[in-house]
Structure 1
Amino acid sequence: MDGESVRIAKDVLSAGAEAKICLPDSPEEFSRALARRGSRRPVVLGDDRALLRTVALLHRERELAEGALSLVPIGPQDALEVAHALGVPRSTPAAARVALHGAVRRLDLLVDDSDGVVLGDLLVPGVPLPVAAAPSVWGTCRSLVRTLVRPAPAPVARLRVEADGILLADVDAPLEGLTVRPVGGTAEVTVHPASAPTRHATAGTVTVSGPDFRYRADGRLTGPVRRRTWTVRAGAWGLTLPVEAA
């Protein structure tokens, strides 16, 4: 989709190291190329989905603790929010140079009971992202929309939330949302009840159960499920970042 950025990344990487370039045409080819990496350190050219796919594959093969990954971000900015939050440079040449000369930072990982992984924030319940109106239509109809449309109420869910076995919310109390973020070897848990103060906790495991619910992690919507447990794996994977960020 962005051949020029790929060319730039290849040129920078090949100028600074003995690089083998793989251009897989399918997820299956991607998996085979990663499995045949040998002693080479993988550098992923792509967006958050490509990074997540790589981490998930290495996790399933129980090879995530071996070595480190690098990412050269290629794609629209809204598809690279996780990468940038982790500290990956925004420009292609800068990120390629970091892949060559950066420092490895060990990062935490959320692993669920279906062997799925989460790199960034976990949001429960997950809802579809809003669709933006076209600029021309929005400019024309702004005053009418302000007059006729009322903000929709925030969706609520009835879920049971436990952090290391401690009950933070139950199905008898509506819940506006739950955020889980791996930080410093533990999960930072924030519960937003619909009619009570926000609650905070830190834990090694977080379990959510109740009526069918969806959750959003790393930009992806998953579910519905009735129960899911996430466990923090401290320093589970390594990402090459600028020296000052690592």
Structure 2
Amino acid sequence: MSAHDQLLVVIDPVARRSDGESVRIAKDVLCAGAEVKVCWPDGPEEFGRMLSRRGSRRPVVIGDDRALLRAVTQLHRFRELADGALSLIPVGARGAVQLAGALGVPGDAVAAARAVLDGAERRLDLLVDDSDGVVLGGLRIPVGRAPVTAAAPGTVWDTCRTLVRTLVRPAPSAPAPRARTQRLRVEADGRLLSDLDAPVEDVTVCSRGGAAEVVVRPRSAEPVRATASAVTVSGASFRYRADALVTGPVWTRTWTVRPGSWSLTVPVAVPGPGAESAGAAAG
């Protein structure tokens, strides 16, 4: 039996709790077509240790987008991403496996397991930040909405009069929420896209065709778009959503594209690189 037919299957504990039946079906399909060693980690640390001790076996993760991100992060930090393709069988709520679908992995457990056995390796880009964190699909410094502040309470009689008016006539509609802005400096390969004097509502970055595609949406102007190999965002303390995780607050962060730096097993029939559509799943 070749090394290709020897699998290390790491089952994320969240997948076991959320959909044990899909986990069982996927495991049965894999065991019927390959030599399989199954691991049942109890948490993220044990998940990482089992993955690092895979030897020559191909790693297969059963879990959601967070489990996939955890596996890629682990392999990246140990500089093992180039050693071979990673396989994923998505198990989780619909919203928790969107990235996997955008990357071309089937959502059905049986179809995903068959892709592990018979699929092809797809080379994908990676965004790596200056703290050695990774982004598989895309990142966003969120739009958000400013909360509507309620009026200060008055006297008891004021409250009674308000209640009576509410009963005899429809309440006025609530004011529309205001767009939330941040003052950020955004640079793409050293080119200034936005500075601190121009509030922005949204910044997105995703890997597309070996480069980072950046979109900055100012409050009162048309979006600014650029393509670069590195993107730096700095300014007031900000948070950002990368894939399935929210990170921060940070004062500055630089993301660099590493084209084709990792591989994912997908069905043979899936055309084209999935990194182009993956950014939409992170937004």
TM-score by length of 1: 0.91
Determine if the alignment matches structure 1 residue 91 to structure 2 residue 116. no
Cα contact 2:144–2:179 (8 A) shared by 1: no
* Aligned residue identity for 1:3: G
The corresponding residue for 1:46 is 63
The corresponding residue for 1:71 is 88
Q: Write the deviation string for residues 53-81 of structure 1: whole angstroms up to 9, x where unpaired.
A: 00000000000111011110101010011
Quote the Cα distance in structure 2 between the aligned partners of 1:6 and 1:197. 47
Counterpart among 171, 176, 185 of residue 160 in structure 1: 185
Q: Which runs of 5+ in 1 are unaligned?
A: 131-143
Quote the Cα distance in structure 2 between the aligned partners of 1:126 and 1:66. 38
The corresponding residue for 1:233 is 258
The corresponding residue for 1:37 is 54
Quote the Cα distance in structure 2 between the aligned partners of 1:162 and 1:197. 17
Quote the Cα distance in structure 1 between the aligned partners of 2:51 and 2:143. 31
Quote the Cα distance in structure 1 between the aligned partners of 2:50 and 2:106. 25
The corresponding residue for 2:24 is 7
- What's the CA shift for 1:125? 3.9
SS for the counterpart of 2:101 is: helix
Q: Write the deviation string for residues 112-165 of structure 1: whole angstroms up to 9, x where unpaired.
A: 00000001111014759x9xxxxxxxxxxxxx9995323311110000000000
Cα contact 1:192–1:198 (8 A) shared by 2: yes
* Aligned residue identity for 2:97: L
Greater Rg by CA? 2
1:156-235 equivalent positions in 2, closer than 5 A? 156-235=181-260
Quote the Cα distance in structure 2 between the aligned partners of 1:90 and 1:213. 33
SS for the counterpart of 1:65 is: helix
The corresponding residue for 1:141 is none
- Residues paired across the two proteins, number: 232
Compared with structure 1, are the counterparts of its residues 109 and 147 closer, same or farther at alpha carbon in structure 2 (3 Å cutoff)? farther
Cα contact 1:127–1:216 (8 A) shared by 2: no
SS for the counterpart of 1:156 is: coil
Determine if the alignment matches structure 1 residue 119 to structure 2 residue 136. yes
* Aligned residue identity for 2:135: V
Cα root mean square deviation, aligned? 1.8
Show structure 1 runs of 4+ deviating over 3 A.
Answer: 125-128, 144-147
The corresponding residue for 1:105 is 122
SS for the counterpart of 1:42 is: strand
Q: Which runs of 5+ in 2 are unaligned?
A: 1-16, 148-168, 272-283
- What's the CA shift for 1:3? 1.2
Compared with structure 1, are the counterparts of its residues 155 and 72 closer, same or farther at alpha carbon in structure 2 (3 Å cutoff)? same
